[in-house]
Each structure stands twice: as C-alpha cells, then as structure tokens.
Amino acid sequence: MKKYRSNFDGSAKSPISALRFIPRNFIYDKYSSFLVILRTLILNFLLCRRKSTFYESVKFVKSSMVVWAMALLVQLPMILGGCMAAERPGVHVPSAMNQVDRVSESFENQPPVSHYYDFLRGQLAARAGRPEQAIEFMKRAVEKAPDQPVLKKELALIYMKQGNEAKALEMAQKALAQDPGNLEALIVAASLWQAAGKTDSAIQAYQKVIEKAPERENIYLILARIYLRQEEYRDAADLLEPFVKQFPGSYTGFYYLGKAYTGLDELDKAAYAYVRSLSVNPDLMEPRAELIEIYNRQGKEQEVVAQYEAVLQRDPQNVAAALELGIFYETRRLPEKARPLWEDLAGRAEPESEVIKFVTRFLLARQRYDDARTALSGMLESAPENQDLNYLAGATCYLMDDIEQALDHFQKVTPDSYFYPEAMIHQAIIHNRKEQTQQAVELLETAMAKADSAGKVSLIPYLSAFYQEQKHYQQAADLLNQGLAIDPENMELHYELGVLYDKMGDLPAAIEKMKQVIEKDSEHADALNYLGYTYADRNINLDEAESLIGRALELEPENGYILDSMGWVYYRKGEYEKARRYLDKAVSRVSDDPIILEHLGDVYNKIDLPAQAVKYYKQALENSPADEDVIMEKIEAIRQEGLQL
C-alpha cells in the first residue's frame, strides 16, 4: 500500500538534525579551501628556499605534499560531485573511503605542517567512521590554532556525532566566546541545549540565529516546533505568520501555523493554514487529518466527507480513510454509503493486513470500542465467515463486557486461523469468569492438541493457571516444562515455573528459578519484584530486597504491586514513614488488593494511628482476603486497646 509521509524539516529529533542546512564556510567550501592550502604551500616553499638548503627544501616539499594529497582526497568528491552525479548516478562516495584510508595510513609517520594537516586528518578519520581518532586530530588542530573558533565548532560537531553532548557543548561555547556571531557554533549550542531540555537557552540561541540570518528557513521551523511542544501557541503564531509570507512554499510552515491556531482555538484561521499547506503539497496526510478534526468540531459534514474522499482519490488503498469514512456514514445513519467501503475492506482483512492492524492499533488500543464494533459489524455483513474479523469482533465485545456476544464470535474461529490460540484463550477466560473452570480447562486442552508449537507456547500459561486454580500443581509444572522444551529461552515460562515452585512449597527452587530469570533478563521487573518481596516477606536479605525492588521500580515506577513491595521492605526495616509513603501510593494505584490494604493498615498501626489502621483493615476484609482471621485479630487487638470502633 502506498504510504504518504511528510518530512517536516523542524523535527530535530537529535541535535544533529538542526544542522542539516548549515553551509560550511571554512574547509568545506569547494574551492576556497584549495586556494588557502595552495597559497600556504607556495609561501612555505619560498620561505624554505630563502633559509634552507636544497635538501631541506625537498624534505619540506615532501611533507607538504602530504597536506596537498589529503586536501585533494577530502575536497575531490565535493568539487567533482556535481559532474560525477550527472555522469554516474550510481557512485557511492563512502565506498571510496577504503582508498582514502590506505593513502592516510601511508602518511602516518609524516611530520605535520600546520593545523590544516591535523584538521584534514581529523576529517578523514571522521568520514571513515573513526570518531576517537578524528577527535584526537581535531584537538591537535585546536591546540595549534587556538584563535580559530571554526576549529572548535568542527570539534563540537564530531563530539555530537559521537554522542558526547557535554564535550560538544563545551567546544561550541568556547567557539562562541571567541566569535559570538558564529552562526554554526550558535546552532550547535542551541541544538544541544534543546536535547538537554534547556529549552529557554535553546530558544534564545535560535532567536539570535534568525535575527542574524533570516534566510535560515529550517531554524524558524525548529523554533516553531519548540513553541508548539511547550504549548506556547501565541509565540508560535507570531513567529510563523511573517515566516509563511517570506517562505510561501513551506508546507511545513503552514502546517505548524495551523497547529498554533488550533491551540489558540482560532479554528477558521487554522483551517485556512492547513488548506494552504495542502496547496503546496496535496499528498500530505497530517493537514487533512487536522482539517477533518476541525470540520467535525464545526459540524461541517460535507467538508469532512470531501477530505476523506480526497485521501481515497489519491490513495484508494488507504485503510484509515476508508474505515473512518465508513464509521462516519454509519453514525449518520447512511449505511448504503458505507456498504461499498465495508465490502472492499472485508476483502482485504487478512492476518497482518492493514485492516487488522488499524482496527487493533487505532480503534481498540485507543478504546474506541463503539467505532470498532461499528466497523467490524459492517465488514462482517459482507464476510460473515471471516475468522479474523470474528476474532476482532469477539475481542471488541469482550472489552465492552458483552461476554455472550464475544463468545459467539470466538466460537467461529477455527484451528486454521492465525488467531485460533487467542480465540480459545478468550473463550476459556469467559468460562472461568462464569465459574466454569473445568470447561475452560477442556477447551484449552483441546486447543493444545490442535495448535502448532508457537500456539502451544501461547496456550500453556493460561492452561497452567487453570490447573493451579484447581490445585493440580504437578500438572501445571509438567505443562510449563513442556513449554520450555519447545522454547527454552522463554523467560515468562521460567518465571511462571518459579512462582509455581513457591506455591508447591519449594521456596529454594523458586528463589533459584527467579535468579536464573534475572541472570538472563536483568530487566525482568516481575522477577526482580518477586524475589525482592519474597525476601522482605520472610524478613531476610533486606538490603538485597531493597536493591532488587528498586531496579524493578526503575522499570515500572507506577506499578502498584512493586510499590507495595518497596513499602513492605521499609516496614521490615522499621522505617515506617518511608513505608507509609510507598504504600499510600500503592493503594492509589491498586485500591482493591487485600494484601496491599492490610500492609498499609499495619504501617498505620505502627505509627500510632489506629483509626487509620482499622480503616484499611476493613477495606481489606471487603476484598475477600485469604487471611481474613488474621485481619480480624488485628482489629480486635486495636479495639481492646481502647479504640471505639
């Protein structure tokens, strides 16, 4: 399918992106650098003739030829680039770097003549992908010519490409200290400040660049993008209004201006800006999407349809536009207009197709369940036996808590479907919700017999969980080991087996299994948390527990169960105020877990707030805790101490 993409010039995803349009006025100029080097060679040769022997002159010429040859290698692709591109469009300049390297190596032991020598060697090394060597040569050039800010700027660029942003900024600032008007150094510094989140400094630097060089089109766009991200819509509009007059061919400028007006709720102006963006580049998708949103808000239904149809006219295979237009027609009670769209989309609904991906990512993932149901129902009218559509319809109904309708759709998915394992898992979950665990087990056992190896690995964790619910622990363990025989590196199966060992009363095996998971996957948050909480719950290895749970929190800082684990570590350590902070946050994330509620009650009891403790103990009891008698005893103990309950 053809995809329309727009490459907005101001994206600046990395500091280097801000430099795409910076002219190089020093060594990169095609001809001036040749003249500088040539003049230097002639002058030095004449000086040698005046004060040296013939032998020394020859020796100097030999060393000077190093610079000349290297200059030729650096400059030749730039000087001849246009002709070569015209005559041989297939030439790939970087492939010639092996020859450059060989020539460069032949000069390795030659004496340098001036900072030009080190500068050129640095450029050669950078082009050959050797940043460390490039930096060393460029640093030598800076040492030999400390009064040349342009060398510091070039060194900053190499540091940027290496990812050493601190050093890059240091060099750029030194260049600016010597030459405050150096635009390239200013842009380097601005882009680095932007990447570091120092937005105010970046804005000021970009403003200076625009003031000194108003022809720098991309700098306006970078600055506008910063304003938009900061939601400083008025500043963005004030910047872009004169910009689009100066650069009327910038579709990006008009698009950003539309975004600014949208942020200011000036919808008519925004729509005009988006239309102007499309007049420059009609293939853009972003302005059309924004126009559709504006027209929807304004109730301009004809304009909405016109924009969708414009997309489909340019790209008849555009799934997003077809689905959205179909939903639009259905919600306006125009099914006869939607039907041709559904018929076409249903014919393209196969596993991994754009139809399936769009429904999953842009409707279900964004919780647009009603729209997903509308679209899927429309397509199923044309293709009622399409198993992929039936699976998605079942998933949609399940998410909408219409489990009977979901079950009906899932039952239409047969073993030859890509979605068969998932459909069987969903059916089993529905039966388990209806307290029909044995029926859930039988469904998954049937699916296991029909599924391929990959399908079996998907089914095993769920069937194992149902076996465990029935207290059939050995069957569950055998099943998990069966999965590991198929996929030995599946860390989720290893983790589930570790949890199962704990349930079976084999704590050493559980701990060893969790350590194995962490050793193979150091970012497995569940394993880190499980092992840490296991230590805390048994009041052992508390420092290690804190470290493990801390690593888990770095990976999932808002996970209520991990927050509870950290709170429990601090409780065991007697640091009750820290424990309270973590457990309060845990309860705000998971408000119905009886263990977390009981933990918070325990903390309040320790800090002499018995009323608060009883409050959380009672909430724990409301959520069917396994240790109900223990919680009742805690409440009774507080009552006996004199609290009126």
SS3 of residue 147 by DSSP: coil
Contacts of 285 (CB under 8 A, 6+ apart): 4, 5, 6, 311
Contacts of 528 (CB under 8 A, 6+ apart): 518, 548, 549, 551, 552, 555
* Nearest residue to 48 (alpha-carbon basis) of 113, 109, 110, 107: 113
d(CA 478, CA 242): 72
Sign of CA dihedral 108, 109, 114, 115: positive
* Cα–Cα separations (whole angstroms), residue 480 to 356, 438, 487, 488, 524: 31, 19, 10, 11, 18
The count of other CB atoms within 10 Å of the CB of residue 484 is 17
Q: What percent of the chain has pLDDT over 90?
A: 65
Contacts of 509 (CB under 8 A, 6+ apart): 498, 501
The model's pLDDT over 539-549, given as tens digits with 9 standing for 90+, comes to 999 999 999 99
CA atoms within 13 A on the CB side of 5: 5
d(CA 586, CA 580): 10
Q: What is the mean pLDDT of the chain?
A: 83
The model's pLDDT over 537-574, given as tens digits with 9 standing for 90+, comes to 999 999 999 999 999 999 999 999 999 999 999 999 99
The model's pLDDT over 348-394, given as tens digits with 9 standing for 90+, comes to 988 778 999 999 998 999 999 999 999 999 999 999 999 999 999 99
d(CA 156, CA 163): 10
Contacts of 142 (CB under 8 A, 6+ apart): 115, 148, 151, 152, 155
The model's pLDDT over 10-57, given as tens digits with 9 standing for 90+, comes to 333 333 233 222 233 333 333 344 334 444 443 343 334 333 333 333
Tokens matching residue 128: 């050959």
Confidence of residue 122 (pLDDT cuts 50, 70, 90): confident
d(CA 254, CA 472): 65
Q: What is the reported pLDDT for 100? A: 41
* Nearest residue to 158 (alpha-carbon basis) of 192, 131, 180, 186: 131
User: Which amino acid does the sequence have at 472?
Assistant: H
CA atoms within 13 A on the CB side of 560: 16
pLDDT at 622 over 60: yes
Q: What is the reported pLDDT for 643? A: 67
d(CA 481, CA 90): 55
Residue 186: φ, ψ to 5°: -65, -40
The model's pLDDT over 511-531, given as tens digits with 9 standing for 90+, comes to 999 999 999 999 999 999 999
* Nearest residue to 425 (alpha-carbon basis) of 453, 469, 395: 395
Confidence of residue 113 (pLDDT cuts 50, 70, 90): low
Cα angle 209, 192, 219 (rounded to 5 degrees) comes to 30
For tokens 């509620």, the residue is: 597
Contacts of 579 (CB under 8 A, 6+ apart): 567, 568, 569, 570, 571, 603
d(CA 196, CA 14): 10
| Cα 96 versus chain centre, distance | 35
Residue-level length of the chain: 645
The domains of the chain are located at 591-645
Contacts of 587 (CB under 8 A, 6+ apart): 560, 596, 597, 600, 616
User: Which amino acid does the sequence have at 512?
Assistant: E
The count of other CB atoms within 10 Å of the CB of residue 308 is 23
Cα angle 306, 309, 315 (rounded to 5 degrees) comes to 145
d(CA 7, CA 74): 30
Contact 406, 426 (CB under 8 A): yes
Q: Indicate the angle between helix axes 286-298 and 251-263, nearest 10 degrees.
A: 30
